[in-house]
Amino acid sequence: MPGKLEQLKEDMRKLASPEKARVLSGFFKTGKGEYGEGDTFLGIMVPDQRRVAKKYPDLSMNDLRKIISSGMHEERLVCLFILINRYKKADSSGKKEVVDFYLRNLRYINNWDLVDLSSGPLLGDHLIDADRSILYEMAQSDDLWERRIAVMSTFAFIRKNDFGDTLRIAEMLLNDRHDLIHKAVGWMLREIGKRDQAKEEEFLKKYYKKMPRTMLRYAIERFDEEKRKNYLRK
């Protein structure tokens, strides 16, 4: 009888679609020199991956180590969904075990969907009442995905109307050269604005002239048309 990991992989292969895999490979920029270079896809949509993850809540840490390092993008994401589900139900010791595993395996969290779907619910949530210095270290990393994790993790704080770390990390990343960081920072600024537009505009008025255009456009997306035009006339 196959083990749980083999069963999980078999479940995923039954859902695989070569046609969708080709589309996803292009969407996540897997070509030579692109940010997702070399990543491979089974062609499974996210809702189906979430359903697979729910079937395997008790997958061993050893099996999780195997699947987080998979060459298949969807298998890594299913691992992250299993970790998120486990984290939600765990006591403080169990939550720490999950987050420690997450931090030990950052090198496999290497595309924007993997970052965006996991960083807030895991690392961000864990740091709500803890020392957040690791996010500032990650914001200075040479690794694109660690920098994105740094800012995206702060979504957990934003949901608590705690904006300080997001704004400080946004300031650190103003001169970042990568479009995916511009988008992430702009997105988090927009989320602040949805809760406290005055706080977002306090930041924008200080920095909008030097912000990358993509970052600014994301940040002001929900503003009325006249206000957007005023910010874009820099």
Average the pLDDT over 52-81 and give the result. Answer: 97
* Residue 232 shares a structural domain with residue 123: yes
Give the Cβ contact number of residue 144 at 10 Å. Answer: 18
113 in a structural domain: no
Q: What are the pLDDT digits (tens) for 128-137?
A: 999 999 999 9
Q: What are the pLDDT digits (tens) for 92-123?
A: 999 999 999 999 999 999 999 999 999 999 99
80 in a structural domain: yes
pLDDT score for 17: 97
* Residue 139 shares a structural domain with residue 218: yes
Domain that holds residue 98: 1-107
Average the pLDDT over 20-37 and give the result. Answer: 93
Give the Cβ contact number of residue 98 at 10 Å. Answer: 22
Residue with tokens 């069963």: 7
- Residues paired with residue 72 on neighbouring β-strands, in sequence order: 40
What is the rounded distance in angstroms from the CA atom of residue 214 to the CA atom of residue 159? 23
Q: What are the pLDDT digits (tens) for 145-196?
A: 999 999 999 999 999 999 999 999 999 999 999 999 999 999 999 999 999 9
* Residue 2 shares a structural domain with residue 74: yes
Label residue 82 exposed, middle or buried (CB < 10 Å: 0-12, 13-18, 19+): buried
pLDDT score for 234: 72
- pLDDT tier at 1, thresholds 50, 70, 90: low
CATH number (domain holding residue 92): 1.25.10.90
pLDDT score for 147: 98
SS (H, E, C) 144-157: HHHHHHHHHHCHHH
Counted domains in the chain: 2
Average the pLDDT over 36-59 and give the result. Answer: 96
What is the rounded distance in angstroms from the CA atom of residue 205 to the CA atom of residue 183? 19
